[in-house]
Amino acid sequence: MRRRAARGPGPPPPGPGLSRLPLPLLLLLALGTRGGCAAPAPAPRAEDLSLGVEWLSRFGYLPPADPTTGQLQTQEELSKAITAMQQFGGLEATGILDEATLALMKTPRCSLPDLPVLTQARRRRQAPAPTKWNKRNLSWRVRTFPRDSPLGHDTVRALMYYALKVWSDIAPLNFHEVAGSAADIQIDFSKADHNDGYPFDGPGGTVAHAFFPGHHHTAGDTHFDDDEAWTFRSSDAHGMDLFAVAVHEFGHAIGLSHVAAAHSIMRPYYQGPVGDPLRYGLPYEDKVRVWQLYGVRESVSPTAQPEEPPLLPEPPDNRSSAPNWIPSEVVLRAGIARGR
């Protein structure tokens, strides 16, 4: 997703309406020129400037303004924030809110911030200590399912199973589905504000999030935006591939944060389908990071299934390469057979 910043004619002279823009937007507008003899970049529109400031604050690049303490965004802070975002996103680091930067800001992504939170008091980053589970056997369940989706309940459960298995195949973690209300990882499909501090925003925008391990009651919980068109091996570019997003979010649920690496599953931006769930393997950088948290798994077949999974059909005998509770519709669509 690497893009180059577009260069063009200089910005138009300020009009009378600019005097009514908030200070942060005026500062960002000033960033449209580099000074000296360098060619200026086109001036962003007011709505793009507003988007830029809100986005940079939301995802950890810029502390929010606090007029009560006199802490406002300065031109230097804004330029540094844009540069950091561009570097993290694999763009040319211009420090300018150019077209490529705005396009990346509008790309569907995870709700969690990319960088440790900037504090108002000291204007510096407070890096949280890495978190991980202090146990190796973790339970999970899908508490709520997508309401208007072509994916059935069994398909969703199967995709969650395989997304968790991606991680437990390489780390000493064992995931098992439970039918009761108590589970370490609760999975929900929700819309808009769902009372966890990370409201969804409709189709596109933020598509999912998960909470890091810890002692809080939401530890490990994973939420998907029910306004998204969730798909699995869709033949076109429509919708969000549920398996790909689930692998990313379960990385958070076991303690991994976002990274800038272009091929990492923990890159914050949606990158499209990653392939067959029964064949997908993590990029090396993701393996190293989970090994640093939990060590290397010594055995195979780590992800356990419930002894008596509820309401799931038995597949035909010739589907034995998949766990015996995975519905045949998933196996048929996963393409595990020949020619891959």
CA 122/CA 27 separation, integer angstroms: 21
Q: Let me know whether 81 and 221 are in one domain.
A: no
Residue 162's domain comprises 137-300
The answer to whether residues 238 and 178 belong to one domain is yes
Type of residue found at 92: E
- With respect to residue 86, please indicate whether it lies within any of the assigned structural domains: yes
Catalytic residues: 249
- Per residue of the chain (340 residues), give pLDDT as tens: 444 444 444 444 444 444 444 545 545 554 554 544 555 666 678 888 889 999 999 999 998 776 666 566 788 889 999 999 999 999 999 999 999 999 999 999 999 999 986 554 444 544 455 689 999 999 999 999 999 999 999 999 999 999 999 999 999 999 999 998 899 999 999 999 998 989 999 999 999 999 999 988 999 999 999 999 999 987 667 899 999 999 999 999 999 999 999 999 999 999 999 999 999 999 999 999 999 999 999 864 445 554 444 333 333 333 333 344 554 444 434 433 333 3
Q: Do 87 and 152 belong together in one domain?
A: no
Confidence (pLDDT) at 22: 53
Binding positions for Zn(2+): 110, 194, 196, 209, 223, 248, 252, 258, 266
Residues 113 and 264: their CA atoms lie apart, in Å, by 16
Instruction: Detail the residues annotated as belonging to a binding site.
Output: 110, 148, 184, 194, 196, 201-202, 209, 221, 223, 225-226, 228, 248, 252, 258, 266
Is 2 inside any structural domain?
Answer: no
Task: Tell me the C-alpha distance between 118 and 115, whole Å.
Answer: 8
Whether residue 95 is found in the same domain as residue 161? no
Annotated binding site for Ca(2+): 148, 184, 201-202, 221, 225-226, 228
Task: Give the chain's domain count.
Answer: 2
Contacts of residue 142, defined as CB under 8 A and 6 or more positions apart, other chains included, come to 153, 156, 157, 160, 187, 188
pLDDT at 234: 78
CATH classification of the domain holding 65:
1.10.101
The answer to whether position 178 is within a domain reads yes
Residues 146 and 245 in one domain: yes
Is the domain of 142 the same as that of 291?
yes
Q: Are 148 and 99 contained in the same domain?
A: no
What's the pLDDT at 159?
Answer: 98
Residue 169 and residue 293 in one domain: yes
Give the per-residue pLDDT at 120: 46
| Nearest-angstrom CA–CA distance, 334 and 337 | 8
Domain membership flag for residue 233: yes
Rounded distance between C-alpha atoms, residue 207 and residue 118, angstroms: 23
Residue by residue, what is the 3-state secondary structure of the chain?
A: CCCCCCCCCCCCCCCHHHHHCCHHHHHHHHCCCCCCCCCCCCCCCHHHHHHHHHHHHHCCCCCCCECCCCECCCHHHHHHHHHHHHHHHCCCCCCCCCHHHHHHHCCCEECCCCCCCECCCCCCECCCCCCCCCCCEEEEEECCCCCCCCCCHHHHHHHHHHHHHHHHCCCCCEEEECCCCCCCEEEEEECCCCCCCCCCCCCCCEEEEECCCCCCCCCCCEEEECCCCEECCCCCCCCEEHHHHHHHHHHHHCCCCCCCCCCCCCCCECCCCCCCCCCCCCCHHHHHHHHHHHCCCCCCCCCCCCCCCCCCCCCCHHHCCCCCCCCHHHHHHHCCCCCC
61 and 156 both lie in a single domain? no
Is the same domain home to 91 and 157? no
27 vs 34: CA distance, rounded Å? 13
Angle in degrees, CA 254, 256, 257, rounded to 5: 140
Flag whether 320 is in a domain.
Answer: no
Say which amino acid occupies 192.
A
Does residue 311 belong to any structural domain of this protein?
no
Q: Are residues 190 and 271 in the same domain?
A: yes
Residue 92 included in any domain: yes
Report strand pairing: 185-190 vs 137-142.
parallel
Token couple for 208: 């999912």
- Asked if residue 162 is part of any domain, the answer here is yes
